[in-house]
Amino acid sequence: MTVTIARQMIGAELLKLRRNRALLAFALLLGVATIALYFGFAAVEHASNPARYGPAGGAPHFERSVRIGGLFFGALAAILIGAEAGTADISSGVFRDLVATGRSRLALFAVRAPGAILLTLAVNGLGFVVGLACSFLLAGSLPTPGVGIVLESAGWIALSSAVIGMLAVGVGSASGSRAVTLTAVIGLETVATQLLVQATALGQARDALPNVALGQLNPFSSPYDNLTLSAALAVLVLLGWILVSAAIGAWRTAVRDA
């Protein structure tokens, strides 16, 4: 597969995801609207009782908006888009037609992740811009985030979006079911992670959780204070999740009955 063909296939995958209006609407709701609502609610609180509630912007609220975009609602948007990218061809019956054209199965899988990640970056990037703008516009007397922390936060959200999106694409390609993919990945990212982090008997094995690794790399304090791992180990953990999910998804795509 040449670079030109790969670019065309990735573009087609991205266009297919963008044209799914329901997918795009819910992704924007999760990745952008929730951040706007967070600042809106904080602004209403401040307006109603300034003595009790501080300004709705500034560095403290920027930090919370970054967490929302990287580990919570932005992550849900990445899972939603990744699950759609990994399962759409199979659930719609198009996979059989694509295989019949003689296109490599591995090539069909390889273009899913870039398309999903590009759309996820666009959605969560927009959410980040909204959070950054609100942090400055509503700062009042609070300090605003510096250039360095803004750039680090943007890079971290991009990393989180790519890792979680790739995980969802891999699971989706392996299962072929949106419901299974959404349940499995959301369950891992939310319920399972919270339970396992509190299981002290597991010791350092908990460092292998993707959210724990992402939490250690974020530019603010880790949300998992009881766990510490080096940045290098966190990168290796995330790389492992990417490689394993890609390998499983590629293998299942290669052996799946058309």
User: What pLDDT does 80 receive?
Assistant: 97
Lowest mean pLDDT among 1-15, 173-187, 199-213: 1-15
Summarize pLDDT for 60-101 with one digit per residue, the tens.
999 999 999 999 999 999 999 999 999 998 888 788 878 878
> Looking at residues 122-144, what average pLDDT do you find?
97
Say whether pLDDT at 224 is over 80. no
Collapse the DSSP code of 211 into the 3-class scheme (helix H, G, I; strand E, B; otherwise coil) and give the result: helix
Say whether pLDDT at 221 is over 90. no
Say whether pLDDT at 111 is over 80. yes
Collapse the DSSP code of 163 into the 3-class scheme (helix H, G, I; strand E, B; otherwise coil) and give the result: helix
- 114 touches 10 (CB < 8 A): yes
> Looking at residues 130-152, what average pLDDT do you find?
96
Say whether pLDDT at 43 is over 90. yes
CA 18 to CA 151: how far, in whole Å? 27
Task: Write down the pTM of the prediction.
Answer: 0.94
- What share of the chain in percent tops pLDDT 70? 98
> Looking at residues 213-223, what average pLDDT do you find?
87
Helices 21-28 and 112-137, interaxial angle, to 10°? 40
Q: Is 220 left (phi over 0), alpha (psi -120 to 50) or beta?
A: beta
Say whether pLDDT at 257 is over 90. no
Taken in order 85, 90, 91, 92, is the CA torsion positive or negative? positive
Burial of 119 (0-12, 13-18, 19+ CB in 10 A): buried
User: What pLDDT does 258 receive?
Assistant: 62
153, containing H or E segment? helix 147-175
Q: Write the CB contacts of 16 (distance below 8 Å, at least 6 apart in sequence).
A: 88, 115
User: What pLDDT does 34 receive?
Assistant: 98
pLDDT band at 158 (very low <50, low <70, confident <90, very high): very high
User: What pLDDT does 6 receive?
Assistant: 82
Q: Where are the domains of the chain?
A: 20-250
User: What pLDDT does 256 receive?
Assistant: 84
Say whether pLDDT at 152 is over 70. yes
- 190 touches 139 (CB < 8 A): no
- What share of the chain in percent tops pLDDT 90? 74
**When comparing pLDDT for 222 and 229, which is higher?**
229
Averaged pLDDT score across all residues of the chain: 92
User: How many helices, marked H, and strands, marked E, lie in the chain?
Assistant: 13, 0
> Looking at residues 171-179, what average pLDDT do you find?
94
Output DSSP code: residue 206: G
Q: Which of 38, 67, 75 is nearest to 186 (CA)?
A: 75
Burial of 11 (0-12, 13-18, 19+ CB in 10 A): middle
CA 17 to CA 28: how far, in whole Å? 13
Could you tell me the two tokens for 28? Answer: 């924007």
Q: Write the CB contacts of 164 (distance below 8 Å, at least 6 apart in sequence).
A: 75, 78, 79, 82, 185, 189, 210
